[in-house]
């Protein structure tokens, strides 16, 4: 279908390199295209669907978005309310999606919707939804703290009709398909923060070495150089965990626990490194003129998007068998 046919380890190599871009929005948009909106279509979609949606997406002619989160359902994916009711050879879609990356410019959406009244983990389906159909309303581009170069949309659906052949895989399997790709999405996210964290530690070293306070470089304070050493060590530990998890994933192992640990640590460390480094930049760090303030804003999303820290902790506890039963 136009792709290179490489294994997932290449995604991680790409994600790390994209971290060299001096903002978070562009790597995130590429990630949505490569590891969030298209894997289910690639794995389970019909040949006809792949030709219609996947080929132009791989070629870069189509922008894809992922319609999962809603105003009342973020990390709790099973709680979505959007419906796709089968009528003849069409689905009629009603509801809305929130926090949709690239939603203002997307050509199609990989939409998760309720297609039956059954149990909430078995009543959802994924549908390829062209974004130019009547009844699709892009309500607004959301104004965000960070990732400001990435458009994030609120979208409503009002009696949107889409052919039933646009169903990805089997009806009722949408939640399962979505859970499968979450592990890749979380590993991609962790990989994209490695290079920015390295970069901002090095830029902070360079700045504190030349900036003097009380006639000595800021870097000469033990509190500063010890802290930067500690942060650099944490980044290397994150890298090792990421690489170990990817290696296990490549062997076909269930990496849900390790992927959750990696995502959790990446989000926590993104906050810790940018906050500590910004402090060492002083007043200059509080301006929009330096990278550290941008990464402070952009990388804050890592602890929220793709499953919040608290969701990762719950998953880890489930695998450790320490999560209280409901």
In sequence order, what DSSP letters do the residues of 17-44 get, joined into one string?
HHTTSSSSHHHHHHHIIIIISSHHHHHH
Closest CA to 127 of 60, 181, 172: 172
Residue with tokens 């973020």: 74
CA distance 9 to 224: 35
Among all chains, which residue has been given the structure tokens 């490569």? 34
SS3 235: helix
Catalytic residue ranges: 185
Residue 325, SS3 per DSSP: coil
What is the residue whose two structure tokens read 């470089």?
217
User: What whole-number distance in Å separates Cα of residue 182 and Cα of residue 260?
Assistant: 10
Helix, coil or strand: residue 113: strand
Residue 288 CB-density burial (10 A; 0-12 exposed, 13-18 middle, 19+ buried): exposed
Q: Which residues contact 276 (CB under 8 A, 6 or more apart)?
A: 227, 231
DSSP E strand stretches across the chain: 64-67, 83-87, 90-101, 108-114, 124-130, 136-141, 152-163, 167-168, 212-213, 216-217
Which CA distances in Å does 41 have to 9, 44, 57, 74, 193? Answer: 20, 5, 11, 22, 27
Q: What are phi and psi of 22, to 5 degrees?
A: -85, 45
């Amino acid at each position: 279908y136009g792709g290179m046919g490489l294994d997932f380890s290449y995604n991680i190599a790409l994600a790390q390199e994209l971290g060299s871009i001096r903002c978070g929005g562009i790597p995130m948009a590429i990630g949505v295209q490569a590891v969030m909106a298209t894997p289910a279509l690639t794995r389970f979609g019909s040949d006809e669907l792949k030709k219609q949606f996947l080929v132009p997406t791989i070629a870069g002619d189509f922008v894809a978005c992922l319609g999962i989160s809603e105003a009342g359902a973020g990390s709790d994916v099973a709680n979505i309310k959007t419906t796709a009711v089968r009528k003849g050879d069409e689905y009629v879609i009603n509801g809305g999606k929130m926090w949709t990356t690239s939603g203002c410019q997307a050509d199609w959406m990989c939409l998760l919707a309720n297609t039956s009244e059954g149990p909430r983990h078995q009543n959802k389906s994924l549908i390829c939804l062209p974004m130019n159909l009547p009844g699709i309303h892009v309500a607004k581009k959301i104004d965000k703290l960070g990732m400001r170069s990435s458009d994030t949309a609120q979208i409503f659906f009002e009696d949107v009709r889409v052919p039933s052949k646009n169903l990805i895989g089997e009806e009722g399997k949408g939640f399962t398909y979505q859970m499968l790709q979450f592990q890749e999405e979380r590993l991609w996210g962790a990989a994209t923060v490695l290079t920015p964290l390295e970069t901002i530690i090095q830029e902070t070293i360079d700045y504190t070495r030349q900036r003097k306070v009380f006639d000595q470089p800021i870097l000469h304070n033990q509190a500063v150089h010890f802290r930067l050493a500690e942060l650099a060590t944490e980044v290397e530990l994150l890298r090792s965990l990421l690489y170990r998890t990817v290696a296990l994933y490549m062997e076909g192992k269930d990496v849900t626990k390790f992927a959750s640990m990696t995502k959790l640590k990446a989000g926590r460390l993104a906050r810790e490194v940018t906050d500590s480094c910004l402090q060492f930049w002083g007043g200059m760090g509080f301006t929009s003129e330096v990278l550290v303030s941008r990464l402070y804003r952009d990388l804050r999303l890592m602890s929220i998007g793709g499953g919040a820290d608290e969701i990762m902790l719950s998953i880890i506890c489930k695998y450790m068998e320490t999560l209280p039963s409901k």
